[in-house]
Chain A
Amino acid sequence: MLEPLFGVLALFPSADALLKAIPQVKERGFTRLEAYTPYPVHGIDEALDLPKSKLGILVFILASLGAICAFLFEWWTSTVSYPLLTAGKAYNGWQAWVPVMLEGTILVGTFTAALGMLFVFNRLPFFGNPMLRSKAVDEITRDKFALVIRPGDGGLDTSAAIAALRAAGGQAIEVVPAPHYRRAGLAWWAKVTAGIGAACLVAGYGTAWAIRTFPTTKPMVEMENQPRLDAQAPDTFFASGRGMQLPPVGTVPRAFMPVLATNPDQGGKALVDPLPVTARVLERGRQQFDIHCAVCHDKLGTGKPWLDSTYEAQPTDLQSSTIRDASDGYLYWVISKGFASMPAYAADISPNDRWAIIRYVRALERSQDAPARDVK
């Protein structure tokens, strides 16, 4: 029985000889032709009537997507998710995003070109290409150019094909049989998965072992050892002998205006809650209260601490009439400056958050002593 046929192959010594042979073979009625060359040959697409590759369009679309994604990513991180003013620029400083967009374009474009060529258009992985079993494959990958006549719908007249190739100047003509081809089965995929898994394990454990065995070896120290002033560390650069400098006298951090009044009753009168009445403010107040206040004043503000009795201080009952009758400004002063054994929170809680906490304390008070109309 005849083996199934892949095609009839002939070798040509140069790209020009190959390009000259193609029309001659076509004239004899063979239309399904394939060429195998050691390097890309200009003009072979036209000679073989190959359609224009769609790879370029694919790369263009995906590279544009790369640019758009980089833009959206930069915009989202620096303007929406965590608005950050850098070097006095506006939030939408698109100029700074262009290099990232360029890199995104190139990254996605090159990966699409390489992977798209290999996996989308050349349909790899494909094992057992019949050409690999031909005698000519060594020379094709070295310095010879092969033309293969593939069987059409009605099969292939082998002797006519050989004659056509010989007439066109082909050498080392051979008939390439099609191998029995099986798609990769479950066992193959299992082997591949196991192989990748094993490689990961070796790499992971190998790295862990290397780090444990050579703990002081650092692959890159340039960033760690750069000449710089470290925070909290002594340094000889400044006369003060510290790396970190104190802020100039009389300056305050942005949005941290200190409370200047020394007396809570007088100082409290001058302070007015600047926040709007919204659910968001109350929610923020609840969050900050639970973080900073609830540990001593209790979640409802009853002044029964979660701490055990060895903690001797008696936190104020925020539900008491003293606090209910005190003004918001008084509470703000106390939070900012501290009172009795309660420490000052000016450095830890921003002014707006302090007001939000007071708003929430008022809500707590009302929740524990609601008038009848509230629960109608």
Chain B
Amino acid sequence: MSVASRVRSALPPRFAEPAGGRPRVAQPHVRPPLWTVHRTLWALVALGGAGIVAAWFLAGAQRFWVNWLMWLVFMVCLALGALFLVALQHMTGARWSVPLRRTAERIAALTPWLVPVAAIALFSLPVVFSWTQPDAASITPLVLKEHWLNRPFFIIRLAVCLGLWVLSYVVLVRGSVRQDVTKDPSLTVRLRRFSPVFMILLALTITDFAFDWVSALEASWYSDIFGVYLFAGAVTTAIAATLLAVMHLQRRGRLPGVTGDHVYNLGGLLFGFTIFWAYIAFSQYLLQWYADLPAEVFWYVQRTSGPMGLVFVLLGVGHFFVPFLALMSRADKKSPTRLKWVAIWVIFMEFVDVFWLISPIQGGGIRLGWPEVSFAAFFVAAGLLVIRRALSLGEDMPTGDPFLAAGLDFHLR
């Protein structure tokens, strides 16, 4: 008998607990199997942090900030995608997903952490953004965009976006957590009313963020659809992350009543948004390829020629065809192993996507070395720590939601 399974069998079954929730404080001590994972994650944070500091001194400011921005964008995708899932469930009044909503809410715990990461990222403005360079005043498209791309307005927009995101996180998640205690059904109604507002805010802010922090790196370039592109990737990633977290909790018996049918539905959503991402990504590419305007197409030339062309092909195959074919049949979405690996793959592919969007501004080949690995170790481990801590708090399901019973009763027939 392995150590892990012995410890797991010693765990108290969650469903035997009294209603009203577990005490918050004792959590880390009650669940020893997290212990080693926990320590590994902290070690990775420390190692990655050291690597990041080394990268600042050895790899050059540009490479440092490019990596920082990639992880900022990736974090924004994951956090906002999770918030979108939560709001989507409120807005549609879906019942099957009520037991899974808390998991998405816990992933959205990344949202407040966006504030320090984005604040630090502001120091990258003079280094990696083409519109802050000294020659920007002589480039016509940049001069025309001056009313939008200037530092004060840029910082104001970032502050507004972050403020709205954190506010939405507080309203959506804290409201839902408060309901665990108060059992007040009117909170559900209020969240249902707030969700459409959030959707509009999300559409505006994620578009602005995508324009400001990704397209504006090459400020001459523009693509109207770019906000939707980032949004499609964000939702796909968030669904994959929720799927992973739900299956993780399910294995530990923390989501009693959540069946393969719930997971099957998440797999269906992942399949759908995979197609949505491909549709948007190809639409953007096709339009720019067709128009072939020098002001636009240089962006794609950078990203489809040379070694980056291989990443472009990998993105088309890996971000679309692999999950598309792997989740197509009904049996595929019923297999937990299949779903787990597809979810991990999709999250990895979203990072490849962000890498493909941002890294080429450095020019010259694929920049993949120890700085990239250090940043990945730091941000992945830190992000997992945040999510794991959030998952260890409070209830695993929204016990105060009046539709929880209906959601647990969900069967495909």
In the complex, what distance in Å separates the CA atom of A43 from the CA atom of B412? 8
CB distance from B54 to the nearest CB of A (A): 42
Choose among B286, B329, B413 the residue that contacts A41 (Cβ–Cβ < 8 A).
B413
In the complex, what distance in Å separates the CA atom of A98 from the CA atom of B321? 14
B184 near A: Cβ within 8 Å? Answer: no
A99 near B: Cβ within 8 Å? Answer: yes
In the complex, what distance in Å separates the CA atom of A99 from the CA atom of B282? 10
**B413 and A15 form a contact (CB under 8 A):** yes
* Residues of chain A contacted by B146 (CB below 8 angstroms): none
Q: Mark B61-92, 1 if CB is under 8 A from A, else 0.
A: 00000000000000000000000000000000
Interface size class of A (residues with CB under 8 A): 10 to 19
Q: Mark A71-112, 1 if CB is under 8 A from B, else 0.
A: 000000000000000011100000110110000000000000
B57 near A: Cβ within 8 Å? Answer: no
* Residues of chain B contacted by A43 (CB below 8 angstroms): 411-413
**A60 and B328 form a contact (CB under 8 A):** yes
In the complex, what distance in Å separates the CA atom of A95 from the CA atom of B288? 11
In the complex, what distance in Å separates the CA atom of A56 from the CA atom of B333? 14
**A95 and B329 form a contact (CB under 8 A):** no
A42-B412 in contact given A56-B329, A98-B282 (Cβ < 8 Å):
yes
Interface size class of B (residues with CB under 8 A): 10 to 19
Choose among B286, B328, B331 the residue that contacts A95 (Cβ–Cβ < 8 A).
B286
Q: In chain B between 95 and 121, which residues have their CB closer than 8 angstroms to a CB of chain A?
A: none
**A98 and B286 form a contact (CB under 8 A):** yes
A331 near B: Cβ within 8 Å? Answer: no
**B289 and A95 form a contact (CB under 8 A):** yes
A19 near B: Cβ within 8 Å? Answer: yes
CB distance from B146 to the nearest CB of A (A): 32
B285 near A: Cβ within 8 Å? Answer: yes
CB distance from B272 to the nearest CB of A (A): 15
Closest to A15 in B: B413
* Residues of chain B contacted by A56 (CB below 8 angstroms): 329-330
**B292 and A96 form a contact (CB under 8 A):** no
Q: Mark A36-72, 1 if CB is under 8 A from B, else 0.
A: 0000011110000000100010001000000000000
In the complex, what distance in Å separates the CA atom of A56 from the CA atom of B289? 35
B290 near A: Cβ within 8 Å? Answer: yes
A19-B413 in contact given A60-B328, A87-B290, A96-B290 (Cβ < 8 Å):
yes
Closest to B291 in A: A87
A99-B286 in contact given A87-B292, A88-B292 (Cβ < 8 Å):
yes
Closest to B413 in A: A42
Q: Mark B401-413, 1 if CB is under 8 A from A, else 0.
A: 0000000000111
With A87-B290, A89-B292 known, 9 other A-B pairs at CB within 8 A are: A41-B413, A42-B411, A42-B412, A42-B413, A44-B413, A52-B331, A60-B328, A87-B292, A95-B286
- Ordered by A's residue number, 6 sampled pairs between the chains whose C-beta atoms are within 8 Å are A15-B413, A43-B412, A43-B413, A60-B328, A95-B286, A99-B286
